[in-house]
């Protein structure tokens, strides 16, 4: 009986090819692969033609789906090729890593302990409010940590990458580049696994005592599984595992030592399935602990091991030509030659990706590496997305999502996809409903965007698939077996926890496009109950724009929102009765927030254009304008609004202007009044010369100290104008300043009554204390 230990890196064409060649030569009776025992039942799917890498094993706790772990596999992953070999040749294969029922329970235990320690620390150092904030942040971090990949668990916690030591000895920059040069690009694989074992053995002896506690447990379980296989009298057992574990599996300690380590481990329930994966998520930049820098490049190396670089550079040339760049055959030839020459100068047997990138930058980019940004996304990383068989175990909600995607022809894709939907078309309307429902469930695959100039029948969506979205779907599966059922029940539970009208109004606005009439009716009843019990004027004012949108949307979608219309009228009436009180004796911050609500409410009611509502709203605005002690910011806006609606005469507006610009008012009050009056529009100053003269005269009359005090408020007011308005106002101010210095061209010909002017001059001279001529 012989145990053959094959130490590998989890993703790499060289390691993968070495493992496959070794298995074909050895023809083992049993293959042990580093992986979770819970997933053995899914191994049969590996031979299914629909199973196309990259894919991943997903393991999760059914009661807490966000506690999950991924085991990704690419076509060039050694474990994947070992599984393929076993299925194709009828060789039994077992996953022999520490079962996830234990490892995930241990992780949960560690997190609970860390959370308790954090809570104790907070009790000693912070007040109750800070404590609640920190505990919430700790809970969010806890959820994020649950989605770490299996390889992240395998990373050594205390020593980083141990192969960095070998890299330093060989003159390489890091362990990754050392492994790349010595293993992945090696053509002669004879005794490669023996060499890896000797190198790692020396490393572990040098770094004795620095292996993590988690790895020690895992290795104890691996040895237990090897002993169990040995008792079954297999003649040739191949063990495929991470290179770091090889020495620990070579030298077996006593059985009782391993049993002592494994005794009393906690357990949780685990379920497993296969899901599609992407090369983007296999890349190190995604945060995947065992990720690689260039999955697309590795894919190329796996399929074209004998290529001298001509095919790779030709693909780059083809890509750049698609981007309308002038790349010739000569560019390709010179790039390949330069890469090969650079590799030779560096004593490398073959060019690596670095040499090719440098050659592309020099020859095709003329020294500018901007081309590498295009090449990296399209070829070096690649946007490849795998697929899994239809018979893979899935929660019913995921099955319904995939079925709906298929019928609507919007499958998951690796690339980001932009869609413009025309809601007049039946298929686009169904897509819109499906996307809105997923959004309401908190599944962010389809992201709704803003679209201009397309009318209300157009919608823009961005589709971007991330494997973690499968976890979100599994988590929402407790609410129903279909998207429609899950959305209704999930939002029903969410609605019952809402106690504020604006929150429920916003949720109801989101529900309307999802075509859930039963839920809309339930939410309308709940909204009616909340509005009847509310006494908060600000809350009512904040809810009005949403209610208006609901009433308008009902007309578009042929839904009956007469109850909402009655609620809207009742709210406006209650605002009219007591709304002025919230505008009196308030500071700038409160006035600014209230002003935003007034602007939004006025805009919404103007669009709805119901005469009774408009009449009540105008009466409320009149009360704000005429009431004493109302903040000048709100009074200014009320005056402007009534002037725009033709509710006050020019004389009344001028009286209000004169009042706020009088000596009895502070300069700050005047500035706030003008800020409200000129809210977001400079056109009124451009078109009304009398108002312009009043504002200009008032500003010019301020003392320097007062002016500097007012400057921030004035700048804020004018910053809200459009650039064209600001430019024209500047020109108008310049001409006004010039007019005070000298007559404008052509003024001599104006039809002036000089006789009347002569009668006024003596009076002016007397008032100014000048001699009368």
Predicted pLDDT of residue 557: 55
Whether residue 115 has pLDDT greater than 70: no
Same domain (yes/no): 232, 88: yes
- Cα separation, 92 vs 82, whole angstroms: 11
Whether residue 741 has pLDDT greater than 70: no
Of the listed ranges 193-197, 245-249, 613-617, 767-771, the one predicted with least confidence: 767-771
Phi, psi of 56 (to 5 degrees): -145, 145
How many CA atoms lie within 13 Å of 372's alpha carbon, on the beta-carbon side? 16
Taken in order 192, 195, 201, 207, is the CA torsion positive or negative? Answer: negative
Whether residue 40 contacts residue 273, with contact meaning beta carbons closer than 8 Å, is answered with: no
Find the mean pLDDT for residues 705-710: 77
Asked if residue 363 belongs to a domain, the reply is: yes
Which 3 state secondary structure label does DSSP give 36? coil
The alpha carbon of 688 is separated from its chain's Cα centroid by a whole number of angstroms, namely 47
Asked if residue 472 belongs to a domain, the reply is: no
Asked if residue 764 belongs to a domain, the reply is: no
The count of domains in the chain is: 5
Asked if residue 772 belongs to a domain, the reply is: no
Whether residue 446 has pLDDT greater than 70: yes
Find the mean pLDDT for residues 707-721: 78
Of the listed ranges 229-243, 360-374, 590-604, 688-702, the one predicted with least confidence: 688-702
Whether residue 469 has pLDDT greater than 80: yes
- Sequential DSSP letters for 157-205: TTTS-THHHHHHHHT-SSHHHHHIIIIIT-S--TTHHHHHHHHHHHHHH
Phi, psi of 573 (to 5 degrees): -65, -40
* pLDDT per residue as tens digits for the range 149-166: 343 444 444 456 777 777
Whether residue 512 has pLDDT greater than 90: no
DSSP bridge partners of 70: 58
Same domain (yes/no): 402, 434: yes
Same domain (yes/no): 266, 195: yes
Question: Of 157, 207, 200, 156, which Cα lies nearest the Cα of 178?
Answer: 200
Predicted pLDDT of residue 499: 87
Q: Which of 286, 314, 334 is the last residue of a domain?
A: 286
DSSP letter at 283 equals B
Q: Is 156 exposed, middle or buried (0-12, 13-18, 19+ CB in 10 A)?
A: middle
- Cα separation, 707 vs 728, whole angstroms: 22
**Residue, of 94 and 133, whose pLDDT is higher:** 94
Asked if residue 550 belongs to a domain, the reply is: yes
Taken in order 115, 121, 127, 133, is the CA torsion positive or negative? Answer: negative
Spell out where 394-483 has E strands.
417-422, 446-449, 458-463
Predicted pLDDT of residue 525: 86
Of the listed ranges 15-29, 122-136, 221-235, 327-341, the one predicted with least confidence: 122-136
How many CA atoms lie within 13 Å of 526's alpha carbon, on the beta-carbon side? 23
Confidence of residue 132 (pLDDT cuts 50, 70, 90): very low
Of the listed ranges 133-142, 211-220, 516-525, 600-609, the one predicted with least confidence: 133-142
Taken in order 250, 254, 255, 259, is the CA torsion positive or negative? Answer: negative
Highest mean pLDDT among 358-362, 411-415, 501-505, 636-640: 358-362
Same domain (yes/no): 348, 430: no
pTM: 0.69
Classify 515 in phi/psi space as left (phi over 0), alpha (psi -120 to 50) or beta: left
Mean pLDDT of all residues in the chain?
A: 82
Find the mean pLDDT for residues 406-416: 89
Q: Which of 426, 449, 466 is the last residue of a domain?
A: 466
Predicted pLDDT of residue 717: 77
* pLDDT per residue as tens digits for the range 36-55: 889 988 998 998 999 999 99
Same domain (yes/no): 346, 267: no
Predicted pLDDT of residue 648: 83
Residues 124, 130, 132, 136: what is their CA dihedral angle, to the nearest 10 degrees?
-110
Same domain (yes/no): 554, 581: yes
Q: Is 676 exposed, middle or buried (0-12, 13-18, 19+ CB in 10 A)?
A: buried
Whether residue 31 has pLDDT greater than 90: yes
Question: Of 505, 722, 714, 715, which Cα lies nearest the Cα of 601?
Answer: 505
Q: Which of 590, 625, 648 is the last residue of a domain?
A: 648
Whether residue 238 has pLDDT greater than 60: yes
Predicted pLDDT of residue 567: 81
Predicted pLDDT of residue 457: 78
Confidence of residue 439 (pLDDT cuts 50, 70, 90): very high
Write the CA distances from 174 to 59, 66, 165, 168, 286, integer angstroms.
Answer: 32, 34, 8, 7, 20
Asked if residue 143 belongs to a domain, the reply is: no
What is the three-state SS of 602-641? HHHHHHHCCHHHHHHHHHHHHHHHHCCCECHHHHHHHHHH
Predicted pLDDT of residue 29: 93
- Cα separation, 309 vs 380, whole angstroms: 14
Predicted pLDDT of residue 145: 44
Q: Which long-range contacts (CB under 8 A, 24 or more apart) does 696-704 make?
A: 696/733, 696/736, 698/661, 698/670, 702/667
- Cα separation, 171 vs 190, whole angstroms: 24
Same domain (yes/no): 172, 312: no
* pLDDT per residue as tens digits for the range 258-273: 899 888 888 899 999 9
Same domain (yes/no): 281, 411: no
Predicted pLDDT of residue 443: 93
Same domain (yes/no): 641, 654: no
DSSP bridge partners of 588: none
Same domain (yes/no): 708, 724: yes
Which 3 state secondary structure label does DSSP give 451? coil
Whether residue 757 has pLDDT greater than 80: no
Asked if residue 417 belongs to a domain, the reply is: yes
Predicted pLDDT of residue 160: 61
Taken in order 156, 73, 482, 553, is the CA torsion positive or negative? Answer: positive
Confidence of residue 553 (pLDDT cuts 50, 70, 90): low
Confidence of residue 4 (pLDDT cuts 50, 70, 90): very high
Question: Of 629, 621, 623, which Cα lies nearest the Cα of 601?
Answer: 621
Predicted pLDDT of residue 149: 39
Find the mean pLDDT for residues 464-470: 87
- Cα separation, 640 vs 602, whole angstroms: 12
Same domain (yes/no): 672, 626: no
Residue-range definition of the domain harbouring residue 430:
396-466
Predicted pLDDT of residue 408: 94
* pLDDT per residue as tens digits for the range 182-233: 777 776 667 888 888 888 888 888 877 777 888 889 999 999 999 999 899 8
Asked if residue 123 belongs to a domain, the reply is: no
Which of 367-382 are b and which e, b meaning 16 or more Cβ less than 10 Å from the residue's Cβ?
A: eeeebbeebbebbbbb
Confidence of residue 430 (pLDDT cuts 50, 70, 90): very high
Q: Residue 130: which H helix or E strand, with range? A: helix 128-146
Highest mean pLDDT among 126-135, 544-553, 592-601: 592-601
Asked if the peptide bond before residue 54 counts as cis, ω within 30 degrees of 0, the response is yes
Same domain (yes/no): 318, 250: no
């Amino acid at each position: 009986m012989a145990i053959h230990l094959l130490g590998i890196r989890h993703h790499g064409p060289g390691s993968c090819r070495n493992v496959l060649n070794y298995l074909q030569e050895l023809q083992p009776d049993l293959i042990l692969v580093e992986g979770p025992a819970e997933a053995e039942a899914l191994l049969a799917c590996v031979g299914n033609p629909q199973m196309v890498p990259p894919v991943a094993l997903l393991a999760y706790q059914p009661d807490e789906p966000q506690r999950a772990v991924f085991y990704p596999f690419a076509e060039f992953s050694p474990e994947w090729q070992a599984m393929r070999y076993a299925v194709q040749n009828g060789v039994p294969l077992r996953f022999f890593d520490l079962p996830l029922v234990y490892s995930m329970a241990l992780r949960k235990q560690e997190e609970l302990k860390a959370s308790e320690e954090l809570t104790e620390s907070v009790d000693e150092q912070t007040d109750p409010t800070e404590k609640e904030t920190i505990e919430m942040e700790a809970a969010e971090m806890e959820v994020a940590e649950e989605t770490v990949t299996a390889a992240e668990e395998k990373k050594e916690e205390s020593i980083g990458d141990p192969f960095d030591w070998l890299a330093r000895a060989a003159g390489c920059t890091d362990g990754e580049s050392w492994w790349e040069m010595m293993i992945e690009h090696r053509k002669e694989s004879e005794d490669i696994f023996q060499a890896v074992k000797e190198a790692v053995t020396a490393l572990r002896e040098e770094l004795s005592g620095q292996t993590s506690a988690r790895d020690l447990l895992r290795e104890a379980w691996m040895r237990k599984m090897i002993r169990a296989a040995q008792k079954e009298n297999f003649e040739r057992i191949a063990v495929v595992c991470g290179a770091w574990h090889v020495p620990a599996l070579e030298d077996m300690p006593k059985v009782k030592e391993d049993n002592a380590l494994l005794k009393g481990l906690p357990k949780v329930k685990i379920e497993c399935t296969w899901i599609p994966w992407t090369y983007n998520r296999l890349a190190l930049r995604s945060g995947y602990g065992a990720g690689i820098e260039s999955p697309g490049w590795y894919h190329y190396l796996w399929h074209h091991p004998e290529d001298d670089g001509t095919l790779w550079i030709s693909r780059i040339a083809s890509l750049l030509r698609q981007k309308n760049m002038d790349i010739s055959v000569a560019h390709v030839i010179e790039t390949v030659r330069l890469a090969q020459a650079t590799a030779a100068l560096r004593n490398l047997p073959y060019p690596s990706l670095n040499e090719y990138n440098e050659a592309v930058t020099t020859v095709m980019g003329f020294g500018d590496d901007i081309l590498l940004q295009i090449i990296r996304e399209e070829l070096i990383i690649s946007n490849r997305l795998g697929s899994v068989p239809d018979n893979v175990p899935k929660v019913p909600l995921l099955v319904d999502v995939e079925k709906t995607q298929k019928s609507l022809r919007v499958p998951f894709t690796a690339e980001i996809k932009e869609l413009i939907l025309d809601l007049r078309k039946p298929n686009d309307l169904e897509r819109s409903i499906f996307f809105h429902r997923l959004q309401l469930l908190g599944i962010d695959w389809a992201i709704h965007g803003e679209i201009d100039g397309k009318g209300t029948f157009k919608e823009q969506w961005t589709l971007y698939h991330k494997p973690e979205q499968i976890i979100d779907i599994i988590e929402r599966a407790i609410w129903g077996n279909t998207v429609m059922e899950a959305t209704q029940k999930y939002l029903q539970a969410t609605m019952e926890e809402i106690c504020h009208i604006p929150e429920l109004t916003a949720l109801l606005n989101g529900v309307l496009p999802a075509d859930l009439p039963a839920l809309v009716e339930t939410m309308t009843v709940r909204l009616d109950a909340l509005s009847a019990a509310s006494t908060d004027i600000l809350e009512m004012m904040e809810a009005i724009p949403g209610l208006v949108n609901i009433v308008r949307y009902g007309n578009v979608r042929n839904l009956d929102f007469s109850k909402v219309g009655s609620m809207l009228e009742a709210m406006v009436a209650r605002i009219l009765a007591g709304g002025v009180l919230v505008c009196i004796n308030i500071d700038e911050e409160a006035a600014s927030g209230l002003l935003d609500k007034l602007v939004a409410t006025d805009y919404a009611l103007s669009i709805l254009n119901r005469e009774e509502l408009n009449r009540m709203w105008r009466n409320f605005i009149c009360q704000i304008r005429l009431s004493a002690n109302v903040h000048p910011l709100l009074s200014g806006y009320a005056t402007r609004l009534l002037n725009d609606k033709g509710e006050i005469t020019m004389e009344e507006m001028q009286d209000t202007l004169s009042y706020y610009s009088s000596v009895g008012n502070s300069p700050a009050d005047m500035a706030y009044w003008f800020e409200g009056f000129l809210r977001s529009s400079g056109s009124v100053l451009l078109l009304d010369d009398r108002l312009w003269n009043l504002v200009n005269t008032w500003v010019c009359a301020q003392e320097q100290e007062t002016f500097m005090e007012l400057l921030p408020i004035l700048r804020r007011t004018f910053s809200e104008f459009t650039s064209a308005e600001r430019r024209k106002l500047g020109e108008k101010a310049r001409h006004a300043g010039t007019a005070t210095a000298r007559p404008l061209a052509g003024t001599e010909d104006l039809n002036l009554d000089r006789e009347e002017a002569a009668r006024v001059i003596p009076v002016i001279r007397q008032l100014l204390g000048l001699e009368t001529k």
